[in-house]
Amino acid sequence: MLPAPTPAPPAAPTANPAEAVLTIANVSLAFGENHVLQDFSLTLLRGENIVVMGKSGAGKSVLIKCVIGLLQTDSGTITVLGQDVAALDHNGLDRLRTKLGFLFQSNALYDSMTVRDNLLFPLRRQWLTHTPAQEAELVKQALEDVGLADTAAKMPAELSGGMRKRIALARTLILRPEIILYDEPTTGLDPITGREIDHLIREVQKKYNTSALIISHDLACVRLTADRVALLSEGRCYAEDTYAGMQANADPQVHDFFV
Partner 1 sequence: MSVSSILAETGTVTRFAGRVFREGFRPRFEVQELLYQCYVIGYQSLPLVGLTGFIMGLVLTLRLRPTMVQFGADSWIPVMVGMTIIQEMGPIITGLMVAGKVGSNIGAELSSMRVTEQIDAMSVSGTNPFKYLVVTRVLAATLMVPVLTVLSDAIGLFAAYVGINTNGVTTVALFTNQIVARLTFGDVLPAVIKTFFFGFAIGLIGCYKGYYADKGTEGVGRAANSAVVAGSLAVFLLDLLAVLISSLLGLY
Pairing of strands 49-53, 20-31: unpaired
Report the greatest alpha carbon distance in the chain: 56
Is residue 83 a contact partner of residue 53, using CB atoms and an 8 Å limit? no
Question: In the complex with partner 1, which residue's Cβ is closer, 183 or 229?
Answer: 183
Consecutive H or E run containing 120? helix 115-125
Q: How far is the CB of 219 from partner 1 (least distance, A)?
A: 25
Closest CA to 63 of 38, 82, 87, 84: 38
CB of 142 to partner 1, least distance (A): 14
Separation of alpha carbons 146 and 167, rounded Å: 7
d(CA 251, CA 222): 19
Residues that bind partner 1 (CB under 8 A): 65, 68-70, 90, 94, 97-98, 100, 102, 104-111, 121-122, 125-127
Closest CB to partner 1 among 212 and 246?
Answer: 212
Nearer to partner 1, 104 or 208 (CB): 104
- Beta carbon nearer to partner 1, 46 or 97: 97
Residue 22 and residue 44 in contact, taking contact as beta carbons nearer than 8 Å: yes
Question: Shortest Cβ distance from residue 178 to partner 1 (Å)?
Answer: 15
Cβ-based nearer residue to partner 1, 106 or 242: 106
| Choice between 115 and 224, CB closer to partner 1 | 115
| Least distance in angstroms from the C-beta of 61 to partner 1 | 10
**Closest among 168, 202, 240 to 47, alpha carbons compared:** 202
Q: 177 forms bridges with which residues in the sheet?
A: none
CB of 252 to partner 1, least distance (A): 33
CA pair distance 242, 239, nearest whole angstrom: 10
Shortest Cβ distance from residue 67 to partner 1 (Å)? Answer: 11
